[in-house]
Amino acid sequence: MEKNSRFKVVSTFAGCGGSSLGYKMAGGQVLLAVEWDDNAAETYRLNHHGTEVYHGDITTLSVDEVLARTGLAPGELDIFDGSPPCQGFSTAGKRIMQDCRNQLFREYVRILQGLKPKVFVMENVSGMVKGKMKLIFAEIMRELKGSGYNVSARLMNAMYFKVPQSRQRMIFIGVRKDIGILPSHPKAKFRPITFRQACYDLCGNTPEDRMLGEMLLKVAKSQPDNWNTDQAIYKSIKGNLASSISTQWIGWDRVCGTLTKSEISTSGLVHPDRERYISLAEAKRISSFPDDFKFIDRKSGIVRMGNCVPPLLMKAIAEHIRDNILLTV
């Protein structure tokens, strides 16, 4: 790739475009995004003008159609990106090995083998290397390496790449074997950013904010200043522990914990003032989305950001690939 040219990307399981935004920040051009969810595809189109969206089931998308839509021949694509659904691997879920969502990576591999890009990036949750899920991780590595790539997988925490959130993800990077370069990951460079530093100028409540219910307001008065819910206090007030694990308490001067897609019952990230959950604007800040990024509404915005790769994490990965692989080819 010539030094001044823009590297080209195809993104599958694209969601609202967190990864795409990171690639663009690093100077890339996203030629095609593949996404089946209606809300995610609509959100993607609202924010990524100029990128064609294949709104449909990836199992019906052929390699020939990808090549036709992008105007590329096999081997010409710079980066093939994808985040196959990870709920079956997640430590927040039941982690069922037979979950059909665990098999969607095979669709990613099918298109990878047909496109033959110089580099691929695949992202998933940390839970896939824990317990019985290690077997699926090993299977994924075999499939990726068997597709003609040298592959490296590493857990990366977004908080060391200017994302104001402790969010650990498994990042696979593969380089086509004929290129002769081994894959590597960017090293952590930055100190974590606290919630105060990220959201200091976002003040007051808005009509769209989700306020705490009576029970959690009582918990908030007794909850110690730590991230995880004190279960003894929680149970003494509610009578049971339902949603206690997923009710997390943000501190002004601590890095925020992981934003998840679910805000049901009493679960969610509680603002440091302990009167409400975080706002959509605050969720954007801790997820490294621009303030002007458009979501359909607060509820779907939390879901979209809870599912995505934070843009600044992907920017760091893309810059590393650009400088250490693509510019040397």
For residues 261 and 287, the answer to whether their CB atoms sit within 8 Å is no
Catalytic choice (86, 199, 256, 308) = 86
To the query of whether residue 86 is one of the catalytic residues in this protein, the response is: yes
Of 269, 99, 131, whose CA–CA distance to 195 is shortest?
A: 269
C-alpha 134/C-alpha 227 separation (Å) is 28
CA distances from 200 to 205, 270, 286, 292, 301 (A): 14, 16, 12, 17, 21
C-alpha 162/C-alpha 235 separation (Å) is 36
For residues 93 and 139, the answer to whether their CB atoms sit within 8 Å is no
C-alpha 110/C-alpha 132 separation (Å) is 25
Q: Give the 3-state secondary structure of residue 249.
A: strand
Encoded tokens for 322: 């650009």
Give catalytic residues, as residue numbers. Answer: 86
